[in-house]
């Protein structure tokens, strides 16, 4: 009997042990896998030794690291420091592994540059003079790095000839000299109205801001600069130091001289000349970029085009009827061609009453400068406004828009786009007060009393070259989008 009891106990013990073993093995098999690794790193080049680079892993879920520095050297440290033998371009690769042996890789090409050689590429052995590139476009602005100069660009076509004579000289001793060569461009929105849109004599009397500010610090002078070759960043210091355009500063556009400005450069070597690209990247992503050249072979330098090519003027008309209802694509009198960064779509439902007559939808895009342009159809014409005294439009501003920085104002303006791409340098416009939201409002302007004229006191009756009329809703110089509605744009 005792033997049977013992036998039963022994069998039970072994059965219990087997169950424990099976349970343990089962738990082993069902354990959650380790989180996926994500390899990432950043690096910092020593200020004292440009060949020495410190790498910091920002990898996630990694228990081991394997580095390949692109020159044959490797490391298993988490955050290694590596010294290269010589300057050059190196592809650095990091393999980060988790506890399950899963590997993630990340690579980046780094440039190791001798700061003395890089500095002399900018300054020459003692000094080096740079001028705006005279072939193709030399400068421009775009919404981001993928759309450089997409909004506006300048070329050597006689539009702003004085800017192509300016000289910017970097000296090896750290000094920076701007030579205005006796003339200066009157930038719109910065200079006093009567100084805008022309090459001015470079004297203090002409360096006056829109509100009377003293802009003379932007004239020729000597300043200082610092250049970090590992990052490509240059800082100019000294009141009024600038490159590109005076108004383009470190983080945005300005209207008065600054004490310093920082930007990024890259230099390409060519046969007979070097080309320098200057980039200003603003916090909102907007990019101004400029192309400068320094010639070792002066015979390669094109001449400056000092006068714009003559353009045959448009036919002039003095209409009795002018406008657009936006009810349909054909519900207009002469003004049937649309352009500009803002988009007008005709024949949409009235936001206040879907059963009412169709209206136009006015969509602001994310471009920096906004307006919808209307021109003559089927061919553009210079329009004389002698038969009219007012211009008006019905506007509906939905409350669903975000009105900061969007404004609740409407502007109607006039310009000449046929003879110049920079029509805004001589425009006439009318601006409303703040309008009510979520209701139709009729805005009417007297043509003989504009809110602003580039040429002081000028009205539409003084011009014989106006071939474009624009409508602006929500403000101009910002990238905020918005949807509005318009109808019954008419001259009477």
405-422 pLDDT, tens digit each: 999 999 999 999 998 878
Say what the pLDDT of residue 12 is: 47
Reported as a pLDDT band with limits 50, 70 and 90, residue 476 is confident
**pLDDT (0 to 100) of residue 190:** 95
pLDDT tops 90 at residue 8: no
Residue 53: CB partners within 8 Å, gap ≥ 6?
Answer: 43, 44, 45, 46, 81, 82, 83, 84, 110, 112
Return the minimum-mean-pLDDT range out of 185-199, 261-275, 341-355.
Answer: 185-199
Query: Which tens digits make up the pLDDT trace of 156-210?
Result: 999 999 999 999 999 999 999 999 999 999 998 899 988 998 999 999 999 999 9
pLDDT at 24 > cutoff 70: no
Residue 147's pLDDT is 85
CA atoms within 13 A on the CB side of 329: 1
Percent of the chain whose pLDDT exceeds 90:
79
pLDDT in tens, 72-94: 999 999 999 999 999 889 999 99
Whether the predicted pLDDT of 29 surpasses 60: no
State the pLDDT confidence band at 104, using cuts at 50, 70 and 90: very high
Q: What is the pLDDT of residue 30?
A: 59
Contact yes or no for 65/59 (Cβ under 8 A) = yes
CA distances from 81 to 41, 73, 90 (A): 13, 11, 15
Enter the pTM of the model. Answer: 0.68
């Amino acid at each position: 009997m005792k033997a049977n009891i013992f036998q039963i106990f022994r069998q039970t013990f072994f059965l219990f042990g087997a169950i424990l073993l099976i349970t343990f093995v089962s738990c082993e098999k069902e354990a959650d896998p380790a989180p996926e690794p994500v390899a990432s790193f950043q690096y910092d080049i020593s200020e004292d030794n440009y060949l020495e680079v410190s790498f910091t892993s920002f990898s996630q879920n990694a228990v081991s690291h394997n580095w390949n520095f692109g020159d044959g050297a490797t490391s298993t440290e988490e955050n290694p420091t590596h010294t290269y033998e010589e300057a050059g371009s190196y592809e650095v690769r990091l393999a980060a592994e988790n506890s399950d042996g899963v590997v993630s890789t990340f690579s980046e090409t780094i440039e190791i540059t001798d700061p003395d050689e890089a500095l002399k590429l900018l300054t020459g052995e003692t000094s080096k003079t740079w001028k705006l590139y005279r072939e193709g476009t030399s400068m421009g602005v775009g919404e981001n790095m993928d759309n450089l100069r997409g909004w506006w660009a300048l070329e050597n076509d006689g539009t702003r000839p004085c800017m192509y004579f300016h000289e910017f000289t970097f000296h090896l001793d750290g000094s920076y000299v701007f030579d205005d060569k006796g003339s200066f461009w009157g930038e719109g929105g910065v200079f006093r109205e009567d100084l805008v849109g022309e090459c001015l004599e470079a004297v203090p009397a002409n360096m006056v801001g829109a509100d009377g500010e003293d802009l003379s610090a932007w004239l020729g002078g000597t300043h200082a600069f610092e250049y970090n070759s590992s990052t490509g960043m240059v800082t100019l210091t000294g009141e009024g130091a600038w490159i590109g355009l005076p108004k383009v500063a470190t983080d945005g556009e300005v209207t008065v001289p600054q004490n310093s400005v920082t930007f990024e450069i890259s230099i390409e070597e060519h046969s007979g000349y070097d080309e320098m690209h200057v980039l200003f990247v603003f916090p909102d992503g907007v990019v101004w970029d400029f192309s400068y050249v320094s010639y070792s072979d002066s015979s390669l330098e094109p001449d400056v085009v000092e006068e714009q090519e003559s353009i045959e003027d448009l036919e002039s008309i003095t209409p009795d009827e002018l406008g657009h209802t936006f009810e349909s694509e054909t519900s207009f009198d002469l003004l049937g061609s649309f352009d500009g960064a803002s988009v007008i779509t005709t024949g949409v439902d009235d936001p206040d009453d879907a059963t009412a007559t169709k209206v136009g939808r006015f969509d602001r895009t994310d471009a920096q400068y906004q307006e919808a342009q209307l021109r003559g159809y089927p061919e553009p014409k210079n329009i004389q406004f002698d038969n009219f005294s007012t211009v008006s439009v019905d506007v509906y501003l939905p409350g669903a828009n975000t009105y900061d920085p969007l404004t609740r104002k409407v502007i109607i303006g006039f310009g000449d786009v046929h003879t110049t791409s920079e029509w805004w340098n001589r425009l006439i416009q009318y601006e409303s007060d703040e309008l009510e939201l979520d209701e139709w409002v009729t805005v009417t302007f007297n043509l003989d009393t504009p809110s602003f004229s580039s040429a002081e006191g000028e009205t539409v009756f003084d011009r014989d070259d106006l071939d474009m009329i624009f409508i602006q809703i929500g403000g101009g110089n910002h990238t905020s989008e918005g949807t509005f509605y318009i109808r019954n744009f008419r001259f009477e």
